[in-house]
Amino acid sequence: MAQLMEDKVFMAFSTHAAIVILKMMLMGPMTAYFRVTRGSFANEEDVARKSAEEKKKLLRSHPDVERVQRCHRNDLENIVPFMMVGLLYALTGPELSVALLHFRVFTASRLLHTVAYIGKLPQPSRGLSYLVGVVVTFSMAYSVLSSALLL
């Protein structure tokens, strides 16, 4: 493990992995914020202390809450594969400059995706940022498979 902590590629991966994981984790509190500010709750116990009439108003969906939840779900669908593939990629010993390019582009794409999604930016901003992240993950997966097939 000590050797890994000295590997610049692994440290770069660890840094970018931590950034995107923290970004993904912040989507939960962001959902809670939107629920409270938009008065949109999903569970009966969330509004248990309210009157029957208030409960009817609060137990509903809201487009902004659903938007944050879709963004969070998209993170789960993209960051988890990045973590797995990125770790394998880092362990194959790629060139530091190429690895940094992969990690930085993926991190930037996920941050831009969130800004585009939550900020309701016009397409193709969200679609392109999503696609860039997917391409980066596929590129790393291709590199891992190419390295493994050479053994």
Q: What structural domains and CATH numbers belong to the chain?
A: 2-27+62-150 (1.20.120.550)
The residue with tokens 């392109």 is: 128
pLDDT in tens, 19-52: 999 999 999 999 999 999 999 998 888 888 888 8
pLDDT in tens, 82-100: 999 999 999 999 999 999 9
pLDDT at 25: 97
| pLDDT of 121 | 97
Residues 6+ apart with CB under 8 A from 40: 34, 58, 60, 61, 62, 64, 65
SS (H, E, C) the chain: CHHHHHCHHHHHHHHHHHHHHHHHHCHHHHHHHHHHHHCCECCHHHHCCCCHHHHHHHECCCHHHHHHHHHHHHHHHHHHHHHHHHHHHHHCCCCHHHHHHHHHHHHHHHHHHHHHHHCCCCCCHHHHHHHHHHHHHHHHHHHHHHHHHHC
Mean of the per-residue pLDDT values for the chain?
Answer: 93
CA 10, CA 4: separation in Å to the nearest integer? Answer: 6
CB 49 within 8 A of CB 79: no
**Is the pTM higher than 0.75?**
yes
| CA 103 and chain centroid, separation | 13
